[in-house]
Amino acid sequence: MRQIILDTETTGLEPSQGHRVIEIGCVEVVNRTLTGRNLHLYLKPDRDSDPEALAVHGLTTAFLADKPKFDAIADEFLDFVADAELIIHNASFDTKFLNAELARIGRGTLDKHCGKITDSLMHARLLHPGKRNSLDSLCDRYGISNAHRTLHGALLDSELLAEVWLAMTRGQDALLIEPEETSAGAGDLVVGGFDASVLRVVSASAHESAAHDSYLKDLDKAAGGNCVWRTIEPKAEAMESAPA
């Protein structure tokens, strides 16, 4: 599975008012592993940034004066994101700007060139309702250092978001196994046609138990509360201590 963590910086808030993309940062993730293959582009917008935007990214008109225009890098950008899932924080903002740039050169819309677009902000809001879910807030929640982020930068923000996304989507869906209904006796556990009662039970050592508890604490922090295993563990302990 190939994913591209993407961010942009712009001259302002609305492409309908003539604002343009001035920086694109892309970080490649394949099978949940950072590959080190990134794309970082500065663009000449042929206009000044709004003062508010300049205060956020610090990319001056003078700095951007010798950079290529979007049409000159469009093929390189589209080749990099081709068929991948794009992970974008507040995706509606970045996509409206990239769609405006693509429309100027007759290249359609971004969703026609990639596999799909996923909004990491919407995902974070589902996981952490009622909490702040800005990139800085998520970095703090998942223990990811952003001390070097004094200004917004498309590549830097994409690198931080990549770490946040991997932490935020660390799955727990394999912890529960539902036994199938079979003709086995009521006390037998049969999973997928296999009689689990024949398995040898090996208790965890003290070192392994401590490592397990440390890992659960990390999961608790990532989940912003008790992870799923915390609700299962007491039930499992009760079953083990119940008389046969």
3-state secondary structure 93-147: HHHHHHHHHHHHCCCCCHHHCCCEEEEHHHHHHHHCCCCCCCHHHHHHHCCCCCC
Residue 228's pLDDT is what?
67
DSSP 3-state of 171: coil
Helix (H) or strand (E) run with residue 241 in it: helix 228-241
Cβ atoms of 8 and 23 within 8 Å: the answer is: yes
Angle value at C-alpha 187, between 182 and 188, nearest 5 degrees: 50
Residue 171's pLDDT is what?
64
Quickly name the fold that domain 2-168 has. Nucleotidyltransferase; domain 5 (3.30.420)
- Pull the structure tokens for residue 128: 């952490």
Distance CA 68, CA 87 (A): 25
Ranges of each domain in the chain: 2-168, 190-241
Tally the residues of the chain: 244
Selecting among 19, 89, 152, 207, the annotated active-site residue is: 152
Residue 213's pLDDT is what?
81
Distance CA 170, CA 215 (A): 12
Residue 183's pLDDT is what?
43
Q: Per residue of the chain (244 residues), what is the pLDDT tens digit?
A: 899 999 999 999 999 999 999 999 999 999 999 999 999 999 999 999 999 999 999 999 999 999 999 999 999 999 999 999 999 999 999 999 999 999 999 999 999 999 999 999 999 999 999 999 999 999 999 999 888 776 788 999 999 999 999 999 986 433 333 344 444 444 444 444 445 555 666 778 888 888 888 878 877 777 777 766 666 666 555 555 555 4
Residue 126's pLDDT is what?
96
Contacts of 215 (CB under 8 A, 6+ apart): none
For 149, phi then psi, to 5°, come to: -95, 80
For 191, phi then psi, to 5°, come to: -120, 120
Distance CA 38, CA 28 (A): 6
Q: Is 152 a catalytic residue?
A: yes
Distance CA 145, CA 38 (A): 20
17 burial level (CB within 10 Å; 0-12, 13-18, 19+)? exposed
Q: Phi-psi bin for 58: left (phi > 0), alpha (psi -120 to 50), beta?
A: left
Beta partners for 28?
Answer: 4
Residue 226's pLDDT is what?
73
Residue 148's pLDDT is what?
77
